[in-house]
A and B are shown apart, each in its own frame.
Chain A
Protein backbone atom coordinates (compact mmCIF):
# COMPACT_ATOMS: atom_id res chain seq x y z
CA UNK A 1 0.00 0.00 0.00
CA UNK A 2 1.21 3.52 -0.77
CA UNK A 3 2.24 5.43 2.38
CA UNK A 4 1.33 8.85 1.07
CA UNK A 5 -2.33 8.33 0.37
CA UNK A 6 -3.22 4.84 1.58
CA UNK A 7 -4.18 3.66 -1.90
CA UNK A 8 -3.33 0.29 -3.40
CA UNK A 9 -1.22 1.60 -6.26
CA UNK A 10 2.14 0.27 -7.34
CA UNK A 11 5.44 1.75 -6.07
CA UNK A 12 6.09 3.74 -9.28
CA UNK A 13 3.12 5.81 -8.29
CA UNK A 14 4.36 9.42 -7.97
CA UNK A 15 3.33 12.09 -5.56
CA UNK A 16 3.49 15.18 -7.70
CA UNK A 17 -0.12 14.31 -7.91
CA UNK A 18 -3.05 15.30 -5.82
CA UNK A 19 -5.50 12.96 -4.13
CA UNK A 20 -9.01 14.31 -4.08
CA UNK A 21 -11.46 12.85 -1.59
CA UNK A 22 -14.81 12.88 -3.34
CA UNK A 23 -17.10 10.45 -1.47
CA UNK A 24 -20.04 11.13 -3.68
CA UNK A 25 -22.49 8.65 -5.13
CA UNK A 26 -22.26 8.15 -8.88
CA UNK A 27 -26.01 8.39 -8.76
CA UNK A 28 -25.91 11.76 -6.95
CA UNK A 29 -26.96 13.74 -10.03
CA UNK A 30 -29.78 11.29 -10.76
CA UNK A 31 -30.93 11.29 -7.14
CA UNK A 32 -30.93 15.10 -6.97
CA UNK A 33 -33.09 15.20 -10.09
CA UNK A 34 -35.35 12.50 -8.65
CA UNK A 35 -35.93 14.62 -5.54
CA UNK A 36 -37.00 17.51 -7.78
CA UNK A 37 -39.25 15.20 -9.77
CA UNK A 38 -40.93 14.01 -6.58
CA UNK A 39 -41.66 17.61 -5.59
CA UNK A 40 -42.96 18.32 -9.09
CA UNK A 41 -45.22 15.26 -9.00
CA UNK A 42 -46.56 16.26 -5.57
CA UNK A 43 -47.34 19.75 -6.90
CA UNK A 44 -49.39 18.05 -9.63
CA UNK A 45 -51.29 16.45 -6.73
CA UNK A 46 -50.17 12.96 -7.64
CA UNK A 47 -48.55 9.91 -6.15
CA UNK A 48 -46.14 8.24 -8.60
CA UNK A 49 -45.66 4.52 -9.18
CA UNK A 50 -42.62 3.22 -11.07
CA UNK A 51 -43.44 -0.12 -12.73
CA UNK A 52 -40.50 -2.47 -13.30
CA UNK A 53 -40.60 -5.90 -14.97
CA UNK A 54 -39.24 -7.98 -17.82
CA UNK A 55 -40.65 -7.28 -21.29
CA UNK A 56 -44.07 -8.86 -21.77
CA UNK A 57 -45.07 -9.34 -18.15
CA UNK A 58 -48.26 -7.35 -18.65
CA UNK A 59 -47.48 -3.82 -17.45
CA UNK A 60 -49.42 -2.08 -20.22
CA UNK A 61 -52.38 -4.45 -20.01
CA UNK A 62 -52.52 -3.93 -16.24
CA UNK A 63 -52.60 -0.18 -16.86
CA UNK A 64 -55.34 -0.46 -19.50
CA UNK A 65 -57.57 -2.49 -17.18
CA UNK A 66 -56.78 -0.20 -14.24
CA UNK A 67 -57.81 2.87 -16.24
CA UNK A 68 -61.03 1.10 -17.30
CA UNK A 69 -61.82 0.37 -13.65
CA UNK A 70 -60.74 3.62 -11.99
CA UNK A 71 -60.52 6.21 -14.77
CA UNK A 72 -63.88 7.77 -13.88
CA UNK A 73 -63.05 8.38 -10.23
CA UNK A 74 -59.27 8.78 -10.14
CA UNK A 75 -57.27 11.06 -12.42
CA UNK A 76 -54.56 8.85 -13.93
CA UNK A 77 -51.60 9.96 -16.04
CA UNK A 78 -48.96 7.74 -17.61
CA UNK A 79 -45.34 8.15 -18.70
CA UNK A 80 -44.36 5.29 -20.98
CA UNK A 81 -40.74 4.26 -21.37
CA UNK A 82 -39.58 2.11 -24.25
CA UNK A 83 -36.48 1.72 -26.33
CA UNK A 84 -38.42 2.37 -29.54
CA UNK A 85 -42.00 3.05 -30.75
CA UNK A 86 -44.95 4.80 -29.13
CA UNK A 87 -47.18 1.73 -29.28
CA UNK A 88 -47.70 1.57 -25.53
CA UNK A 89 -48.62 5.25 -25.39
CA UNK A 90 -51.15 4.70 -28.19
CA UNK A 91 -52.76 1.89 -26.21
CA UNK A 92 -53.02 4.09 -23.10
CA UNK A 93 -54.21 7.13 -25.06
CA UNK A 94 -57.05 5.01 -26.44
CA UNK A 95 -58.27 4.71 -22.85
CA UNK A 96 -58.65 8.49 -22.66
CA UNK A 97 -55.99 9.48 -20.12
CA UNK A 98 -53.03 11.85 -20.54
CA UNK A 99 -49.93 9.93 -21.61
CA UNK A 100 -46.53 10.65 -23.09
CA UNK A 101 -44.01 8.25 -24.56
CA UNK A 102 -40.32 8.47 -23.76
CA UNK A 103 -38.14 6.52 -26.16
CA UNK A 104 -34.68 5.92 -24.79
CA UNK A 105 -33.13 5.15 -28.19
CA UNK A 106 -31.36 2.05 -26.96
CA UNK A 107 -30.85 2.77 -23.26
CA UNK A 108 -32.07 -0.04 -21.03
CA UNK A 109 -33.71 2.09 -18.34
CA UNK A 110 -35.36 5.42 -17.62
CA UNK A 111 -33.47 7.95 -15.52
CA UNK A 112 -34.59 10.95 -13.50
CA UNK A 113 -33.57 13.46 -16.19
CA UNK A 114 -35.83 11.74 -18.73
CA UNK A 115 -38.72 11.82 -16.26
CA UNK A 116 -38.10 15.52 -15.65
CA UNK A 117 -38.63 16.13 -19.38
CA UNK A 118 -41.55 13.73 -19.37
CA UNK A 119 -43.34 15.61 -16.59
CA UNK A 120 -43.16 18.87 -18.54
CA UNK A 121 -44.46 17.16 -21.67
CA UNK A 122 -47.25 15.46 -19.73
CA UNK A 123 -48.40 18.77 -18.27
CA UNK A 124 -49.03 20.00 -21.81
CA UNK A 125 -51.37 17.08 -22.50
CA UNK A 126 -55.05 17.64 -21.82
CA UNK A 127 -55.70 16.83 -18.15
CA UNK A 128 -52.01 16.10 -17.59
CA UNK A 129 -51.24 18.93 -15.16
CA UNK A 130 -53.40 17.70 -12.26
CA UNK A 131 -53.36 14.02 -11.41
CA UNK A 132 -54.09 11.61 -8.59
CA UNK A 133 -51.84 8.78 -9.77
CA UNK A 134 -48.90 8.98 -12.16
CA UNK A 135 -47.80 5.62 -13.50
CA UNK A 136 -44.31 5.43 -14.93
CA UNK A 137 -43.99 2.31 -17.06
CA UNK A 138 -40.26 1.65 -17.17
CA UNK A 139 -38.40 -0.02 -20.03
CA UNK A 140 -39.04 -3.77 -19.92
CA UNK A 141 -35.98 -4.94 -18.01
CA UNK A 142 -35.71 -6.45 -14.54
CA UNK A 143 -32.09 -5.39 -14.02
CA UNK A 144 -31.07 -1.84 -14.89
CA UNK A 145 -34.18 0.19 -13.98
CA UNK A 146 -33.82 -0.94 -10.35
CA UNK A 147 -30.74 1.26 -9.88
CA UNK A 148 -32.37 4.56 -10.86
CA UNK A 149 -34.69 6.57 -8.61
CA UNK A 150 -37.07 8.44 -10.89
CA UNK A 151 -38.83 10.42 -8.19
CA UNK A 152 -41.53 7.82 -7.65
CA UNK A 153 -43.30 7.27 -4.32
CA UNK A 154 -43.82 3.55 -4.79
CA UNK A 155 -41.95 1.04 -6.87
CA UNK A 156 -43.82 -1.92 -8.25
CA UNK A 157 -42.15 -5.07 -9.57
CA UNK A 158 -44.15 -7.48 -11.72
CA UNK A 159 -43.54 -11.09 -12.72
CA UNK A 160 -45.93 -12.98 -14.98
CA UNK A 161 -46.76 -16.66 -14.56
CA UNK A 162 -45.10 -17.74 -17.86
CA UNK A 163 -41.80 -16.19 -16.76
CA UNK A 164 -41.44 -18.66 -13.90
CA UNK A 165 -41.22 -18.29 -10.14
CA UNK A 166 -37.46 -17.85 -9.79
CA UNK A 167 -37.29 -14.16 -10.76
CA UNK A 168 -36.98 -12.79 -7.18
CA UNK A 169 -33.95 -14.99 -6.51
CA UNK A 170 -32.35 -14.16 -9.86
CA UNK A 171 -33.01 -10.42 -9.89
CA UNK A 172 -32.82 -9.43 -6.22
CA UNK A 173 -32.21 -5.70 -6.67
CA UNK A 174 -35.62 -5.08 -8.23
CA UNK A 175 -37.23 -6.82 -5.25
CA UNK A 176 -35.05 -5.17 -2.58
CA UNK A 177 -35.91 -1.74 -3.86
CA UNK A 178 -39.65 -2.20 -4.45
CA UNK A 179 -42.62 -1.76 -2.12
CA UNK A 180 -45.05 -3.92 -4.10
CA UNK A 181 -44.67 -7.24 -5.93
CA UNK A 182 -47.41 -8.39 -8.29
CA UNK A 183 -47.64 -11.81 -9.91
CA UNK A 184 -49.58 -11.26 -13.16
CA UNK A 185 -51.42 -13.55 -15.61
CA UNK A 186 -52.61 -15.95 -12.89
CA UNK A 187 -55.34 -17.11 -15.31
CA UNK A 188 -52.46 -19.09 -16.92
CA UNK A 189 -51.60 -21.02 -13.75
CA UNK A 190 -53.23 -24.25 -15.03
CA UNK A 191 -50.73 -24.31 -17.91
CA UNK A 192 -47.49 -23.44 -16.11
CA UNK A 193 -45.56 -24.81 -13.19
CA UNK A 194 -45.65 -21.69 -11.03
CA UNK A 195 -45.96 -22.31 -7.29
CA UNK A 196 -47.43 -18.95 -6.27
CA UNK A 197 -46.86 -19.29 -2.54
CA UNK A 198 -43.21 -20.32 -3.04
CA UNK A 199 -42.58 -17.33 -5.31
CA UNK A 200 -44.19 -15.01 -2.75
CA UNK A 201 -42.14 -16.50 0.10
CA UNK A 202 -38.94 -16.14 -1.90
CA UNK A 203 -39.68 -12.49 -2.62
CA UNK A 204 -40.47 -11.86 1.05
CA UNK A 205 -37.17 -13.45 2.04
CA UNK A 206 -35.43 -10.82 -0.07
CA UNK A 207 -37.62 -7.99 1.19
CA UNK A 208 -39.89 -8.75 4.15
CA UNK A 209 -41.63 -5.38 3.76
CA UNK A 210 -43.02 -6.17 0.27
CA UNK A 211 -46.75 -5.99 -0.29
CA UNK A 212 -47.45 -9.04 -2.47
CA UNK A 213 -50.46 -9.56 -4.74
CA UNK A 214 -51.40 -11.94 -7.53
CA UNK A 215 -53.90 -11.11 -10.22
CA UNK A 216 -55.07 -11.53 -13.77
CA UNK A 217 -55.91 -8.41 -15.74
CA UNK A 218 -57.72 -10.65 -18.25
CA UNK A 219 -60.00 -12.63 -15.93
CA UNK A 220 -60.17 -9.96 -13.23
CA UNK A 221 -59.16 -12.42 -10.52
CA UNK A 222 -57.35 -10.68 -7.67
CA UNK A 223 -57.96 -7.29 -9.27
CA UNK A 224 -59.95 -5.86 -6.36
CA UNK A 225 -56.97 -5.99 -4.04
CA UNK A 226 -54.93 -4.03 -6.58
CA UNK A 227 -57.65 -1.41 -7.02
CA UNK A 228 -58.05 -1.11 -3.23
CA UNK A 229 -54.31 -0.56 -2.91
CA UNK A 230 -54.49 2.27 -5.47
CA UNK A 231 -57.54 3.88 -3.84
CA UNK A 232 -55.75 3.66 -0.51
CA UNK A 233 -52.65 5.33 -1.98
CA UNK A 234 -54.78 8.23 -3.20
CA UNK A 235 -56.41 8.63 0.22
CA UNK A 236 -53.09 8.59 2.10
CA UNK A 237 -51.25 11.02 -0.15
CA UNK A 238 -50.35 14.23 1.59
Chain B
Protein backbone atom coordinates (compact mmCIF):
# COMPACT_ATOMS: atom_id res chain seq x y z
CA UNK B 1 0.00 0.00 0.00
CA UNK B 2 2.39 2.67 -1.25
CA UNK B 3 -0.54 5.08 -1.56
CA UNK B 4 -0.04 5.93 2.15
CA UNK B 5 3.52 7.12 1.58
CA UNK B 6 2.44 9.05 -1.51
CA UNK B 7 -0.25 10.80 0.54
CA UNK B 8 2.38 11.62 3.18
CA UNK B 9 4.47 13.20 0.43
CA UNK B 10 1.44 15.18 -0.73
CA UNK B 11 0.77 16.47 2.80
CA UNK B 12 4.40 17.54 3.16
CA UNK B 13 4.13 19.41 -0.11
CA UNK B 14 0.87 21.09 1.02
CA UNK B 15 2.59 22.24 4.20
CA UNK B 16 5.42 23.74 2.18
CA UNK B 17 2.99 25.49 -0.16
CA UNK B 18 1.01 26.91 2.81
CA UNK B 19 4.20 28.30 4.34
CA UNK B 20 5.33 29.74 1.03
CA UNK B 21 1.99 31.49 0.40
CA UNK B 22 1.32 32.34 4.04
CA UNK B 23 -1.96 30.36 4.19
CA UNK B 24 -3.49 28.45 7.09
CA UNK B 25 -6.07 26.16 5.61
CA UNK B 26 -6.34 23.95 2.56
CA UNK B 27 -9.82 24.04 1.02
CA UNK B 28 -9.29 21.73 -1.91
CA UNK B 29 -6.59 19.69 -3.57
CA UNK B 30 -6.87 18.62 -7.20
CA UNK B 31 -4.84 15.58 -8.25
CA UNK B 32 -4.40 13.86 -11.59
CA UNK B 33 -3.89 10.10 -11.23
CA UNK B 34 -3.36 8.27 -14.52
CA UNK B 35 -4.74 4.75 -15.08
CA UNK B 36 -1.18 3.42 -15.48
CA UNK B 37 0.29 5.25 -12.50
CA UNK B 38 0.16 2.14 -10.33
CA UNK B 39 -1.90 4.05 -7.79
CA UNK B 40 -5.29 2.81 -6.64
CA UNK B 41 -7.51 5.87 -6.46
CA UNK B 42 -9.71 4.48 -3.65
CA UNK B 43 -6.63 3.69 -1.55
CA UNK B 44 -5.21 7.14 -2.19
CA UNK B 45 -8.51 8.72 -1.13
CA UNK B 46 -8.63 6.46 1.95
CA UNK B 47 -5.08 7.43 2.91
CA UNK B 48 -5.88 11.10 2.43
CA UNK B 49 -9.06 10.88 4.54
CA UNK B 50 -7.07 9.40 7.41
CA UNK B 51 -3.83 11.38 7.25
CA UNK B 52 -5.30 14.79 6.38
CA UNK B 53 -7.36 14.73 9.61
CA UNK B 54 -4.18 14.77 11.70
CA UNK B 55 -3.18 18.22 10.52
CA UNK B 56 -5.04 21.49 11.18
CA UNK B 57 -3.97 22.68 7.74
CA UNK B 58 -5.69 19.87 5.85
CA UNK B 59 -8.41 18.75 8.29
CA UNK B 60 -11.30 20.02 6.13
CA UNK B 61 -9.65 19.74 2.75
CA UNK B 62 -11.54 18.19 -0.13
CA UNK B 63 -9.58 15.89 -2.41
CA UNK B 64 -10.58 15.96 -6.07
CA UNK B 65 -9.08 13.22 -8.23
CA UNK B 66 -9.19 13.22 -12.01
CA UNK B 67 -8.09 10.21 -14.02
CA UNK B 68 -7.59 10.98 -17.70
CA UNK B 69 -7.48 8.07 -20.17
CA UNK B 70 -4.19 6.63 -21.43
CA UNK B 71 -3.16 6.61 -25.07
CA UNK B 72 -2.23 3.24 -26.58
CA UNK B 73 -0.17 3.23 -29.77
CA UNK B 74 -0.67 0.21 -32.03
CA UNK B 75 2.57 -1.66 -32.65
CA UNK B 76 1.44 -2.56 -36.16
CA UNK B 77 0.07 0.60 -37.81
CA UNK B 78 0.90 3.26 -35.22
CA UNK B 79 -2.73 4.23 -34.67
CA UNK B 80 -3.34 5.86 -31.28
CA UNK B 81 -6.37 4.90 -29.23
CA UNK B 82 -7.38 6.92 -26.18
CA UNK B 83 -9.06 4.64 -23.64
CA UNK B 84 -9.18 3.85 -19.94
CA UNK B 85 -8.49 0.12 -20.39
CA UNK B 86 -5.99 -1.44 -22.79
CA UNK B 87 -7.75 -2.32 -26.07
CA UNK B 88 -7.91 -5.99 -27.08
CA UNK B 89 -6.96 -5.28 -30.67
CA UNK B 90 -6.38 -2.35 -33.02
CA UNK B 91 -9.63 -1.13 -34.60
CA UNK B 92 -7.70 -0.45 -37.81
CA UNK B 93 -5.32 -3.37 -38.39
CA UNK B 94 -6.30 -5.97 -35.70
CA UNK B 95 -2.79 -5.95 -34.17
CA UNK B 96 -2.88 -6.99 -30.49
CA UNK B 97 0.36 -5.35 -29.35
CA UNK B 98 0.18 -1.82 -28.01
CA UNK B 99 2.61 0.44 -26.29
CA UNK B 100 1.06 2.79 -23.75
CA UNK B 101 1.89 6.48 -24.06
CA UNK B 102 1.56 8.42 -20.83
CA UNK B 103 -1.29 7.64 -18.45
CA UNK B 104 1.21 7.12 -15.64
CA UNK B 105 1.05 10.64 -14.27
CA UNK B 106 0.60 11.35 -10.59
CA UNK B 107 0.33 15.10 -10.50
CA UNK B 108 -0.65 17.67 -7.94
CA UNK B 109 -2.44 20.09 -10.24
CA UNK B 110 -3.99 22.73 -8.07
CA UNK B 111 -4.46 23.66 -4.44
CA UNK B 112 -6.90 26.13 -3.02
CA UNK B 113 -5.88 27.67 0.31
CA UNK B 114 -7.00 30.44 2.61
User: Residues of A at under 8 Å CB distance from B?
Assistant: 5, 7-9, 13-14, 16-27, 29-30, 107-109, 111, 143-144, 146-148, 172-173, 176-177, 204-209
Q: How far is the CB of A15 from chain B (nearest CB, A)?
A: 9
Pick from B5, B104, B112: contact of A20, CB below 8 A: B112
A19 and B106 form a contact (CB under 8 A): no
Additional pairs, 6, CB under 8 Å, beyond known A18-B113, A22-B13: A5-B112, A17-B23, A17-B27, A19-B111, A20-B110, A173-B36
Q: How far is the CB of A96 from chain B (nearest CB, A)?
A: 34
In angstroms, Cα B85 to Cα A172, docked, is 11
Chain B residues with CB below 8 A from A207, complex form:
99
A173 and B38 form a contact (CB under 8 A): yes
**Known A143-B38, A147-B38: A22·B105 in contact at CB below 8 Å:** no
B27 and A23 form a contact (CB under 8 A): no
In angstroms, Cα B38 to Cα A108, docked, is 14
A9 and B28 form a contact (CB under 8 A): yes
B86 and A206 form a contact (CB under 8 A): yes
Question: How many contacting A-B pairs (Cβ < 8 A)?
Answer: 111
Listed A/B pairs (10) with beta-carbon separation below 8 Å: A7-B112, A13-B27, A18-B113, A24-B107, A26-B31, A26-B108, A107-B2, A147-B39, A204-B97, A209-B99
B110 and A22 form a contact (CB under 8 A): yes
**Known A17-B112, A19-B112, A143-B2: A9·B99 in contact at CB below 8 Å:** no
Q: How far is the CB of B32 from chain A (nearest CB, A)?
A: 9
A208 and B112 form a contact (CB under 8 A): no
A22 and B109 form a contact (CB under 8 A): yes
**Known A8-B64, A108-B1: A25·B107 in contact at CB below 8 Å:** yes
Nearest A residue to B106, CB-CB: A26
Question: Taking each of A18, A29, A30, which has the highest tally of chain B beta carbons within 10 Å of its own beta carbon?
Answer: A18
Nearest A residue to B9, CB-CB: A26
Chain B residues with CB below 8 A from A148, complex form:
2
User: CB of B6 within 8 A of chain A?
Assistant: yes
A172 and B36 form a contact (CB under 8 A): yes
Chain A residues with CB below 8 A from B94, complex form:
none
Nearest A residue to B100, CB-CB: A176
In angstroms, Cα B86 to Cα A177, docked, is 15
User: CB of B81 within 8 A of chain A?
Assistant: no
User: CB of B45 within 8 A of chain A?
Assistant: no
B21 and A20 form a contact (CB under 8 A): yes
Pick from B2, B98, B104, B106: contact of A108, CB below 8 A: B2
In angstroms, Cα B95 to Cα A23, docked, is 35
B105 and A25 form a contact (CB under 8 A): yes
Nearest A residue to B99, CB-CB: A208
Chain B residues with CB below 8 A from A7, complex form:
28, 30, 64, 110, 112
